[in-house]
């Protein structure tokens, strides 16, 4: 089963400031990646467009002053990565 990062935005709490877009490494104007995680049309509420591009940096969640964004699954994915790296290190030592 593939583990994924889940990013959600509460439409009722969001104040449409767009700060989440400014800090997202995949959504900002300086982004090298052309598939943004979060997009916003002028005057509209930001929306999650490409959640599969989320790297779990928490920038949008930490920046959101209305606490409308929640990111889940990062810790689980990180623990799997650590477990695999630890296994590889032990295997290489033996």
Residue ranges covered by each domain of the chain: 6-93
Q: How far apart, in whole angstroms, are the C-alpha atoms of residue 73 and residue 16?
A: 25
Q: What is the DSSP letter of 72?
A: E
What is the token pair recorded at 13?
């709490």
- 14, 68 contact by CB (below 8 A): yes
One pLDDT digit (tens) per residue for the chain, 94 residues: 556 777 888 888 988 888 888 888 876 555 555 555 676 777 676 777 777 778 888 889 999 999 999 888 876 766 666 666 776 777 777 6
Cα 90 to the center of its chain, rounded Å? 31
Return the CATH number of the domain spanning residue range 6-93. 3.30.70.20
pLDDT score for 28:
55
Evaluated on CA atoms 33, 39, 41, 42, the torsion sign reads negative
Q: How far apart, in whole angstroms, are the C-alpha atoms of residue 36 and residue 38?
A: 6
């Amino acid at each position: 089963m593939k583990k994924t990062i889940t990013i959600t935005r509460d439409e009722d709490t969001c104040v449409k400031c767009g700060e989440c877009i400014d800090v997202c490494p995949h959504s900002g104007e300086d982004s090298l990646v052309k598939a943004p995680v979060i997009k916003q049309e002028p005057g509209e509420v930001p929306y999650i467009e490409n959640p599969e591009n989320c790297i779990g940096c928490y920038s949008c969640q930490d920046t959101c002053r209305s606490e409308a964004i929640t990111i889940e699954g990062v810790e689980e994915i990180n623990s799997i990565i650590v477990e695999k790296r630890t296994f590889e290190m032990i295997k290489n030592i033996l």
